[in-house]
């Protein structure tokens, strides 16, 4: 049985103090600033607790104002996560802003894990990796790594970009031996393969939430013409879940429209327990 959830929650009460709002620059003409999106997520078979910040599609380049990317980093630090994960597309359509990428990623405190996206490969994956390494970001390719200690230890299964064919799920799962795991993939369409590999929750990006989101029309267009199954928000199928984060930047068209496509920084509170639908709110 499958169940899809639209990334269109009702507005809730403020979840953060006013000073966090002030960290994000409001006066960027024509661009809505990223907002924190909170969700409580369970990982079956795991006994720990962990807060994860999830950033994706930063797209450093001429199309996205630096203020938005710096604001996203500030929101991550204000949430005090145990781990920050980044699911690719660090650049837009070139390598001219790698210094800004390094500067902004270095400002994020704590451990940072990343996987690559299609724009990173198209622009120059080796250069993007060097910029991330200089910022203290661990790029993990087709393998898993352990985060945390004791009951809070959680395997994070990381695959390289699915769109450009650099992923290898079988290689990534080696040695996992059925342990409960979280997975990172830039493209959410890899989720069924990752569920089959034992990762019950997949974090992704890639779609920008549809960029211009009109209820029902955008979802149908992407599914029919582009064969995109997972466009925005949470999807639950086949005993697994995937979250499609709309991300922060843009690669071609700078503007976004519609709540599911609004720029977001995901703050995910993970805990063990039986599978249940995530409770998300802005």
Instruction: Check if the beta carbon of residue 6 is closer than 8 Å to that of residue 230.
Output: no
**104-157: pLDDT as tens digits:** 999 999 999 999 999 999 999 999 999 999 999 999 999 999 999 999 999 999
pLDDT digits (tens, 9 = 90+) for 176-216: 999 999 999 999 999 999 999 999 999 999 999 998 888 87
Report the residue count for the chain.
Answer: 282
Q: Are 112 and 139 in contact (CB under 8 A)?
A: no
> What fold does the segment set 2-281 form as a domain?
Purple Acid Phosphatase; chain A, domain 2 (3.60.21)
Per-residue model confidence (pLDDT) at position 228: 84
The whole-angstrom separation of Cα 207 and Cα 226 is 11
Chain segment 51-61, per-residue pLDDT in tens: 999 999 999 99
Q: Which residue has the higher pLDDT, 266 or 274?
A: 266
Domain residue ranges of the chain, discontinuous segments joined by +: 2-281
Calpha distance 84→114 (Å, rounded): 9
Task: Please provide the DSSP assignment of 125-151 as one string.
Answer: HHHHHHHHHHTT-EE--SEEEEESSGG
């Amino acid at each position: 049985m499958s169940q899809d959830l639209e990334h269109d929650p009702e507005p809730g009460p403020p979840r953060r103090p006013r000073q966090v709002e002030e960290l994000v620059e409001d006066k960027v003409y024509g661009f809505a600033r990223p907002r924190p999106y909170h969700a409580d997520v369970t990982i079956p078979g795991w006994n720990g607790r962990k807060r994860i910040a999830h950033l994706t599609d930063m797209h450093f380049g001429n199309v996205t104002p630096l203020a938005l990317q710096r604001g996203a980093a500030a929101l991550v630090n204000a949430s005090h996560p145990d781990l920050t994960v980044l699911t690719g597309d660090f650049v837009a359509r070139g390598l001219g802003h790698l210094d800004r990428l390094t500067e902004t990623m270095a400002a994020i405190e704590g451990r940072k894990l990343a996987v690559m996206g299609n724009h990173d490969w198209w622009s120059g994956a080796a250069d993007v990796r060097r910029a991330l390494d200089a910022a203290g970001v661990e790029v993990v390719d087709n393998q898993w790594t352990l985060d945390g200690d004791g009951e809070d230890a959680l395997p994070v299964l990381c695959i390289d970009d699915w769109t450009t064919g650099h992923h290898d799920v079988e290689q990534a799962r080696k040695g996992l031996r059925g342990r409960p795991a979280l997975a990172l993939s830039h493209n959410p369409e890899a989720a069924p393969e990752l569920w089959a590999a034992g990762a019950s929750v997949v974090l992704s990006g890639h779609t920008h939430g549809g960029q211009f989101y009109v209820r029902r029309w955008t979802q149908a267009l992407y599914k029919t013409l582009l064969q995109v199954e997972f466009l925005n928000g949470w999807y639950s199928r086949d005993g697994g879940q995937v979250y499609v984060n709309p991300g922060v930047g843009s690669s071609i068209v700078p503007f976004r429209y519609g709540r599911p496509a609004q720029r977001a920084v995901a703050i995910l509170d993970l805990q063990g327990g039986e599978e249940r639908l995530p409770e998300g709110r802005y």
